[in-house]
Amino acid sequence: MENFRVDLSGKRALVTGGSRGLGLAVAVELASGGAEVAICGRKQENLKSALDVLGARGLSAFATAAHLGRPDHVERLFEDLSNSFGDIDILVNNVGMNIFTPRVSEVDNDLWDKIIEGNLKSAFMVSKAAVPMMKKRGGGRIINISSVAARKAAPGMGVYCVAKAGLEMLTRVLAVELAGYGIRVNAVAPGMIRTEFSKPFWNKKELLDEFVKGVPLGRIAETEDVVGTVLYLVSGVADYVTGEVITVDGGSVA
Q: Count the Cβ atoms, other than its own, within 10 Å of residue 80.
A: 17
Q: Is 232 a catalytic residue?
A: no
Per residue in 183-199, is it b (16+ CB within 10 Å) or e — as a string? bbbbbbbbbbbbbebbe
Look at strands 36-41 and 245-248 and give their pairing.
unpaired
Contacts 24+ apart (CB under 8 A), 174-179: 174/127, 174/142, 175/242, 175/243, 175/244, 176/243, 178/131, 178/134, 178/142, 179/242
Catalytic annotation, pick one of 160, 181, 232, 240: 160
Closest CA to 119 of 97, 148, 87: 97
Active site residues: 160
